[in-house]
Amino acid sequence: MTDPADSPAVRRLADWDAPTLESLAEEYETPLYVIDLDRVAENYARFSAAFPDADVMYAAKAHTGNAVLETILATGGDIECAAWGELQRSIDAGADPNTLQYTAVNPPDRDLDYATDLAADAPGLTITIGATDTLERLAERGYDGRIAIRINPGIGTGHHEKVATGADAKFGIPYERVPAVADRVREGFDLVGLHAHVGSGVLRDGLEEHCRALARVGEMARRVGDEELEFVDVGGGYGVPYREDEPPLDLAETAEKIREAVGEIDATLKLEPGRYVVADAGLILTTVNTIKEAPDTTVVGVDASLSTLIRPAMFGSYHPMLNVSAPDRESIEATVGGPVCTSADVFAHDRPIAGPERGDVLAIGNAGSYGYELANQFHSQPRPAEVALEDGESRVVRRRETLEDVTRLER
């Protein structure tokens, strides 16, 4: 693994080796997810090095693939989970359940059943609650263990309104109610921490507002007695530049501003990067199957779709694109879309791309975060395979689905 100090802060799509990507597409077919595990380890190590006195937990929801979780654990990292399935997958990857943190958001009964059963044999498991209802439901299950309170600071940040969780009533205890809830937790549980997650995809432009929210978290920690808390968890949300002209997050500046915002606390600071660790470590390879000249654009049809990567349709997200078959060919303005029967199934509008031809392989960058996690089977499309790169070798870590996989549960 590259030393964190020598590892570049961002890996642009152009930094990937085009011939290698084209050979992967030929060997494993498309659409194809590619995840570089060496880059995952580098990103985690670089983030951790910026916060040497903090506990850094990987937010599993960004990419729960077994190979990714195993890589995080091999670096010495811990894992934060948002659902029972993520808890189980972390354990399957080798995590000690005593090190896991479960952030319950309106948890179904099966989630709480699983978590409390797990905690019976793993008392180190921490459950983060965002509603007093959850406390009652935990008590009904005989749980009296480690609890963290999720704060709603009333300030949300991030790349899209759908991820600005810090101002969304769905998430966390309303700010002024936290002291009373802390007293209630202490009566029947072990209050070990406070938690907040303000938003997702934060870069320098959103850092000031992000830190304004974290200042409220630090203030609340001192109000409820930070000297009695084990940790104050300020969540994740640290972004990567999706657009080619966006600068990467300055981690040294970010760490300094976060420490300053939270202020003096006796508890350990915790952070939960997810996107930062895996986004630029992954991409999608897709093959051009259609070229159509339209009055206002050239439509380039590919075999990936919104069932492969839904972020552009869901969030209007920008993902860089590269023609890896002919990166030096003269560029044209192209609209790139997939085979799904909706106008939302478009990856790029009027984007300069090196003149695509039928059979060319295109790469869609920054797909390591919330890419495969949100993949689906719309139009009865089997989900793609995923190939991992590590130490110069490639291997399939998730096989391509078949139509039989899609229909299996109907039988």
Residues marked as catalytic: 341
Return the axis-axis angle of helices 84-92 and 66-74, rounded to nearest 10°.
Answer: 60
- Listed in sequence order, the residues at least 6 apart from 258 whose beta carbon sits closer than 8 Å to its beta carbon are 211, 214, 234, 269, 271
| Whole-number Å distance between alpha carbons of 254 and 190 | 31
Report yes or no: 319 and 312 within 8 Å, Cβ to Cβ. Answer: yes
Please name which of 401, 398, 399 lies closest in space to residue 377, comparing C-alpha atoms: 401
Q: 8 a known binding residue?
A: no
State how far the alpha carbon of 167 is from the alpha carbons of 153, 156, 213, 271, 272, in Å.
Answer: 7, 4, 10, 19, 18
Token match 């100090």: residue? 5
Q: Is 352 annotated as a binding residue?
A: no
Task: Confirm whether residue 311 is marked as ligand binding.
Answer: yes
Report helix, strand or coil for 107: coil
- Residue 60: strand, helix, or coil: helix
User: Which H or E element spans position 286?
Assistant: strand 282-293
Tell me: is residue 398 an annotated ligand-binding position. no
Length of the chain: 411
Say whether 276 counts as a known binding-site residue: no
237 is in an annotated binding site: yes
Tokens of 63: 């990419």
Helix (H) or strand (E) holding 180: helix 178-188
d(CA 301, CA 290): 5
Return the structure tokens found at 25.
């597409």
Known binding residue 370? Answer is yes
Known binding-site residues for pyridoxal 5'-phosphate equal 237, 272-275, 370
Known binding-site residues equal 237, 272-275, 311, 370
